[in-house]
Amino acid sequence: MMPILGISSRFLPKPISPLSCFRNNGDPNGLHEQRLEGNKNEDMSKSFSDGDEQNVKHGNIWQLFREAQQNILYLNNQRLSAIEELHKSKKEKQSLLDKIKKLEGEKQGGAGKNRLSICSELLLRIDSMVLGSVISPAEASELRSFVLNHKVSVADVFNVVSHKRDSELLGELRHFSDESKRNGFHIIHICTEMTPLVPRGSVASYVTGISRALQRKGHLVEVILPKYACLDLEEVQGLREVNVEAYSYFNGQIHGNKIWTGVVYDIGVTLIEPQHYSSFFSREMIYGYPDDFERFSYFCRASLDYIVKCGKQPDILHLHNWETAIVGPLFWDIFVNKGLGGTRILLTCHGFNSQGIEQPDKLALCGLDPSSLHRPDRLQDNTNTQLVNILKGGVVYSNRVVIMSSFHPKHAIVRNLSHELEPTLNVHWDKLVIAPYGFDKSTWDPSTDYFLPKKFNAENMSGKAVCKVALLQRLGLSEHSSITVVGCNISEGANVDEKKIKDIALNAKQQDVQFICMWTSERPVLNQALDSLQKELKDDNIKFVRANDEALLHLLFAGSDIILCLSFLDPTDEIPFFIN
């Protein structure tokens, strides 16, 4: 037995005559050495002469050589085929991995949505089913509990909600729902502002911030707003009009409202648009009209009628300032026995400057009884006893009252800052809670703020210089880095002394300091005063900017060397203490 041109016999393919191959079950390669048959060799040696034997051996060598070449070609072809198959397999594997990655991304994001967005959209669809009489309020309540308890699995199964018909979606919900105890709270904000839809004042950022924080902790949060004509709807996902009108009571009659639903920052948002009183919210400004009480009392009554119609049973109705404080008396006098026995009222006061002082007979517009409420222990104003105080009514009829302040204790607020509400607050002392303003780090943290051209933190401040240059470029000011930039923001509702602002600007001019004053106001007197001041000073280093621009506000805080706080009672002025 001899090897063939250094090629081991185990690499050879199946036998090619005159070689033979025998299978051995114990051999992992399944091949034996190839042997020449002994008997045939003996016959050949006897048949040929010595001279011919040499020729036979020579011929056999060439035959073996040709067979070896054939075997090499065969093996090479097999190797090329194997490489081609391997490349094909790798390509198919990569394609499969790409598809899996894409599907996982769609599954987790819900085609651009995360789990909270999907759940919020699903809850709004349940509301529309109730309004359309597709399901009963009782079943709607059970389905909401199911969604709240199974956020993760629900988001995985119902990652595409908007394209499904009500009947299809309802069938799937019933299939996957089961009974379980709810762990989180269901909270509904009835309010007049929310960032970014209505970014006017402290209420707007507070509502959005606290809603996002509570949802991250596993609670279900919804927001009900008027559908203002000036709403910024750019950030609303899945905005849709519910095809069924919701009716509400006002001024002795039943009126229809259009209902719009969508999702903002994972929060389910409902917008109420009056049909008969369409002018209530189709105006240029949010506040500042003689009929503000009529506008917001209509909205409050419509919100409660909508909640009952949908069969919602929230744990907490969260009210804000006097504009929605009338919900308290409405709830306990009219709505508590309409399936809301387990609901409690929380009122947040962002300040006491505006309290909603009105004639008592106007309470009848939204269905309340003026004679039973115009009393010292209820809504009667503490100073002008002929009128009613709506914010006072909210305090009296709420289970808990939160007063927003980062610097003042309870006794100081009640005694010095409550604007004649001190007697009422003393009576309800035990229900009062003082809460500091909180800010969502994802919104105001300069190390993560997506509004900034370059992020920065305390360890690496290089990005602040970039923000300073971007701020000056944006406002057309000189970009000398050695000049100190003083920023000032006047928020909606802030008490402003125009003379002090003028003195500050003149002082900045004398000190060769760049002064930027940004404000958002619907008060014509303040707007006219600041516009006139800009024209009077005529200085390239002083800029007054009247704009409702969130990106510019972030840039102002990030790019200024000094932030001028007009009042620590203004929550916007407290932002630098939290972000710097």
- Report cis status (omega within 30 of 0) of the bond before 199: no
Neighbour-count burial for 388-417, b at 16+ CB within 10 Å, e otherwise:
bbbbbbbbbbbebbbbbbbebeeeebbeeb
Give the whole-angstrom CA distance, residue 246 versus residue 230: 22
> pLDDT value at position 253?
96
What are the φ and ψ backbone dihedral angles of 34, each rounded to 5 degrees?
Answer: -90, 135
> pLDDT value at position 68?
74
Give the whole-angstrom CA distance, residue 185 versus residue 24: 74
> pLDDT value at position 40?
47
> pLDDT value at position 57?
62
Is residue 298 within 8 Å of 282, Cβ to Cβ?
no
> pLDDT value at position 177?
57
Give the whole-angstrom CA distance, residue 494 versus residue 572: 10
Give the whole-angstrom CA distance, residue 69 versus residue 75: 10
Q: Which of 527, 540, 524, 434 is nearest to 478 (CA)?
A: 540
> pLDDT value at position 216?
83
> pLDDT value at position 372?
97
> pLDDT value at position 385?
96
Give the whole-angstrom CA distance, residue 421 versus residue 68: 107
Full DSSP string of 84-152: HHHHHHHHHHHHHHHHHHHHHHHHHHTTT--HHHHHHHHHHHHHHHHHTTSS-HHHHHHHHHHHHHTHH
Give the whole-angstrom CA distance, residue 468 versus residue 8: 77
Domains of the chain, with CATH numbers? 1-109 (no CATH), 110-304 (3.40.50), 315-438 (3.40.50.2000), 449-579 (3.40.50.2000)
Average confidence (pLDDT) per 10 residues, the chain, 580 residues: 43 44 44 45 50 64 75 77 75 72 53 65 82 81 74 52 68 58 81 86 84 87 95 89 90 96 92 94 91 97 96 95 98 96 95 94 97 97 97 98 88 91 96 79 76 89 90 85 82 68 83 84 71 79 82 88 71 52
> pLDDT value at position 415?
92
Strands 357-358 and 388-389: antiparallel
